[in-house]
């Protein structure tokens, strides 16, 4: 009898254990966070993240790893980013506890003006071709980051990117999809086709792609630094290509360019402080959105409730109307940053939100006096952190490839306005209103570096991510996976929403006047994010990566034993 009773007890306990196991795994997120005492690199490509993690294992810090990761991203996802694009970053220095921002967005050529375009019969800002090209800022940004904070030289951090460019890499799923969608528009250009459509077709999933010209350009930068790009053979190739296409860029435009260290701007949301890069970027819209959302009990509403989403969508419309009205290059017009981030202004602006009806015609507020992209983030074992975003703007940017250089030039100039009264009006050596933004947030001993790419999706996605953590109590992986909405337009009641938002919630929003377009699955239409968190009290790092991209959060491997 004792053996029978023991057997029954064993079965009962095993069953309870099984049930408890099911309960422990009952969650909405699809993957776990990466947890490590060592560094972590989160990027849109496992190859890129691995390159950064290896740099950490070889004595580099978060800044070295970020540059190495970004350089590989430019090789393996060339439609998204590369040395023909711009860069922004926020750096957290663990020793001082200070944040540093860098704005490595390029300016327009001196000769690219409204009058120049009009003299050629152009009445709207070109979205591709040579007249959409601005000076690429990424390489100068890399140089300044390494000079100020890095431990490694260009030769070491660029070595993985040079390897993948010369030896090749198998093209992953989403990158293959983007390649086949983005490349046909530029197939008629000989330089572009030679570089990105070898053999007459876009590289397919698993097909090995090589770019010897890009490997040569990266080797020049590894040997000669930023001057090899802006004052050397790479710059000359850019200028010669521009001249052949009737563009205005010259060597002085490149040589005179310098990225800038800037002070991050911030606001508080609940018990978190959230930081963004100041204008000319759109980060200020994310902060204004949060100020507006803070006027409502979003946590009580519930993260995916109709009330919470209605507040966020309406806040987006108000903040983006102000973004379009007031933001440009601060060197050319005064940007009312303090007024836009005022809590009192948010109080007055939030009063315009009607909880029962969507506003389809939102105007900018009266202030008181006073694409495609890649995002990556790194934390090292000491707690240094980098939030970095880099982009060509649209897929394959302008479509212009500098002869023999192996990379496409960005079309960031397409964001300028040809309205002389706009703060974002085109002018020589001016930076346009910029979409790419790195984010950072702090609370007590916690620091989170995060970003979610995707053109004008970014500020609204940042606000949703922050709310998921601050209001929803989610961890960073769950916050990246949560269904999102996005609205790329600046007017109207249209809004895109992932179908994972419950049908009843979408029906409720529709009854309030929102015109919802449903998107299936984890759609890259809603951007792709990465995040790392540092718990300074316990000296533990956490990493997360968005399933909407090919990426991964990869921990630093242990040092190799001799």
Residues in the chain: 562
Q: In the sheet where 272-276 sits, what is the strand order?
A: 34-36, 540-545, 529-535, 446-452, 439-443, 272-276, 265-269
* Helix, strand, coil content of the chain in percent (nearest 5): 40, 20, 40
d(CA 365, CA 322): 6
Dig out the tokens for 543 from the structure: 């990493």
In contact, 78 and 408? CB cutoff 8 Å: yes
The phi, psi pair for 98, rounded to 5°, reads: -105, 155
Beta strands of 80-141 (E only): which ranges? 86-93, 98-104
DSSP codes of every residue in 211-264: -HHHHHHHHHHHHHTHHHHHTSHHHHHHHHHHHHTT----HHHHHT---EEEPP
d(CA 333, CA 55): 41
d(CA 89, CA 71): 14
Beta strands of 297-438 (E only): which ranges? 373-379, 385-391
Q: 232 CB contacts (<8 Å, ≥6 apart)?
A: 220, 224
Examine the residue annotation and report whether 373 is marked as an active-site residue of this protein: yes
Choice among 54, 373, 374, 486 that is catalytic: 373
Residues annotated as catalytic (active site), given as ranges: 373
């Amino acid at each position: 009898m004792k053996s029978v009773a023991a057997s029954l007890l064993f079965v009962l306990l095993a069953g309870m254990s099984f049930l408890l196991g099911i309960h422990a795994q009952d969650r909405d997120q699809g993957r776990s966070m990466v947890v490590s005492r060592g560094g972590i690199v989160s990027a849109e490509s496992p190859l890129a993240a691995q390159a950064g993690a290896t740099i950490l294992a070889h004595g580099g810090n978060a800044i070295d790893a970020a540059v190495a990761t970004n350089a590989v991203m430019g090789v393996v996802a060339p439609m998204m980013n590369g040395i023909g694009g711009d860069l922004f970053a926020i750096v957290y220095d663990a020793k001082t506890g200070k944040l540093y921002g860098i704005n490595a967005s390029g300016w327009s050529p001196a000769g690219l003006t409204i009058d120049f375009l009009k003299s050629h019969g152009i009445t709207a800002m070109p979205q591709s071709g040579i007249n959409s090209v601005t000076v690429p800022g990424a390489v100068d940004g890399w140089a300044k980051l390494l000079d100020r904070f890095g431990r490694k030289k260009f030769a070491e951090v660029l070595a993985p990117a040079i390897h993948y460019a010369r030896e090749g890499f198998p093209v992953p799923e989403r990158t293959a999809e983007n390649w086949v969608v983005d490349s046909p528009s530029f197939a008629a250009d000989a330089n572009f086709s030679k570089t990105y459509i070898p053999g007459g077709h876009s590289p397919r999933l698993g097909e090995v792609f090589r770019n010897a010209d890009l490997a040569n350009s990266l080797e020049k930068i590894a040997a000669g630094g930023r001057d090899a790009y802006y004052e050397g053979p790479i710059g000359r190739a850019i200028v010669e290509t521009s001249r052949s296409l009737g563009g205005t860029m010259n060597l002085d435009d490149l040589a005179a360019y310098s990225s800038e260290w800037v002070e991050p701007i911030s606001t508080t949301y609940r018990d978190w402080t959230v930081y963004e890069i100041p204008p000319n970027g759109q980060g200020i819209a994310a902060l204004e959105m949060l100020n507006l959302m803070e006027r409502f009990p979003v946590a009580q509403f519930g993260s995916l409730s109709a009330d919470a989403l209605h507040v966020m969508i309406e806040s987006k419309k108000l903040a983006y109307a102000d973004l379009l009205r007031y933001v440009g290059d601060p060197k050319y017009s005064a940007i009312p940053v303090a007024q836009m981030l005022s809590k009192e202004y948010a109080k007055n602006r939030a009063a315009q939100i009607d909880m029962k009806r969507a506003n389809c015609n939102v105007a900018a507020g009266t202030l008181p006096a006073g694409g495609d992209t890649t995002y990556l983030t790194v934390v090292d074992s000491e707690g240094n952190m980098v939030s970095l975003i880099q982009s060509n703007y649209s897929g394959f940017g302008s479509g212009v490839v500098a002869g023999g250089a192996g990379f496409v030039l960005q079309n960031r100039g397409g964001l300028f306005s040809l309205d002389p009264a706009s703060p974002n009006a085109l002018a020589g050596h001016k930076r346009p209103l910029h979409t790419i933004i790195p984010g950072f947030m702090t609370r007590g001993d916690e620091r989170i570096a995060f970003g979610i790419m995707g053109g004008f999706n970014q500020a609204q996605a940042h606000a949703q991510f922050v709310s998921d953590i601050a209001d929803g109590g989610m961890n960073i992986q769950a916050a990246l996976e949560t269904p999102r909405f996005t609205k790329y337009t600046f007017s109207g009641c249209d809004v895109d929403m992932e179908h994972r938002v419950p049908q009843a919630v979408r029906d409720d929003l529709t009854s309030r006047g929102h015109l919802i377009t449903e998107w299936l699955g984890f759609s890259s239409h809603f951007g792709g994010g990465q995040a790392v968190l540092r718990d300074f009290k316990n000296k533990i790092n956490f990493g997360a990566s968005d399933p909407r991209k090919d990426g991964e959060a990869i921990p630093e491997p242990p040092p190799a034993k001799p």
